[in-house]
């Protein structure tokens, strides 16, 4: 969930800053002029900047993750645990055919991990202190294999492409809504007054949140592939055991419940399911059992 949340948050912030900049420079007023040709120009413009905003988010994803999560990158291991972590990630990266990622640890009681980065050979893999404390080495290794799988499968790049297309339509329809509101409610014949600006920003936020369900759907699909990667790189039994350990953690009422909901690991109801970045753990474990049978 962390890599998705950081990516979406950064992406939305970039879109809002871009909208304010367009307003100041008068670009919106020009593109929203009457005529089908300008509407086509607006769509092309939104596509270019939507894709651009998405890929800027991707390019700075490692930096954002380190800053926001307080990730301590292991440059030189200070103990046997850090040495094992580096060696294990190196082993898994070699097996997956990718370059050695940066490896880091962040403070959190919740068992969690994430991988991010703009290309396969320049990634970051980080684990929480809670993960290292609550899982055995085979389970931690399976989780690392899962995260390496995200990198090897190019999930962040594919996510950026999908988000870029989503951005384009969010920007386009937000400007259509903004122009309509300015004309119909604020009675501005040109449709480019303060009502347009406020309505456009508001529409971008609302449409951006609603459109994020597409990104979350994609994320849920890719989790199954990452689970498969963890099973292939380590073992199906270790991957299933790691998922079961995580399930046991949130099945027991504790101070971790809020964190697990925030990470997209736990959530109830149809609305929560739409905004969940991960499928239910029972479903993921069952998918491994169906694929690997007695090896789980």
> Do residues 212 and 250 make contact, with C-beta atoms less than 8 angstroms apart?
no
Residues 270 and 160: their CA atoms lie apart, in Å, by: 26
Selecting among 139, 147, 204, 259, the annotated active-site residue is 147
Q: Is 204 one of the catalytic residues?
A: no
Q: Which residues are catalytic?
A: 147
């Amino acid at each position: 969930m962390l890599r998705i949340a950081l990516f979406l948050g950064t992406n939305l912030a970039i879109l809002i800053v871009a909208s304010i900049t367009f307003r100041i420079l008068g670009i919106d007023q020009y593109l929203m002029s009457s005529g089908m040709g300008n509407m086509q120009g607006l769509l092309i413009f939104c596509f270019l900047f939507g894709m651009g905003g998405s890929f800027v988010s991707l390019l700075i994803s490692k930096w954002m993750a380190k800053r926001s999560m307080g990730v301590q990158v292991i440059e030189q291991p200070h103990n046997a645990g850090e040495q094992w972590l580096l060696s294990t990630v190196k082993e898994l990266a070699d097996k997956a055919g990718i370059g050695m990622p940066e490896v880091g640890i962040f403070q959190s009681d919740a068992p969690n991990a994430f991988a991010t980065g703009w290309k396969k050979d320049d990634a970051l893999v980080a684990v929480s202190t809670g993960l290292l404390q609550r899982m055995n080495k085979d389970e931690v290794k399976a989780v690392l294999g899962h995260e390496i799988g995200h990198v090897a499968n190019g999930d962040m790049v594919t996510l950026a492409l999908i988000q870029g297309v989503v951005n384009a339509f969010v920007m386009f329809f937000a400007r259509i809504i903004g122009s309509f509101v300015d004309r119909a409610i604020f009675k501005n014949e040109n449709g480019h007054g303060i009502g347009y600006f406020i309505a456009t920003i508001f529409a971008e936020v609302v449409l951006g949140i609603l459109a994020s369900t597409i990104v979350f759907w994609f994320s849920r699909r890719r989790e199954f592939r990452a689970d498969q990667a963890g099973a292939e790189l380590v073992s199906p039994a270790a991957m299933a055991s790691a998922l079961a350990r995580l399930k046991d953690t949130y099945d027991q009422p504790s101070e971790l419940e809020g964190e697990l909901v925030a990470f997209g690991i736990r959530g109830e109801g149809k609305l929560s399911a739409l905004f969940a970045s991960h499928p239910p753990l029972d479903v993921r474990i069952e998918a491994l059992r169906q694929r690997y049978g007695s090896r789980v």
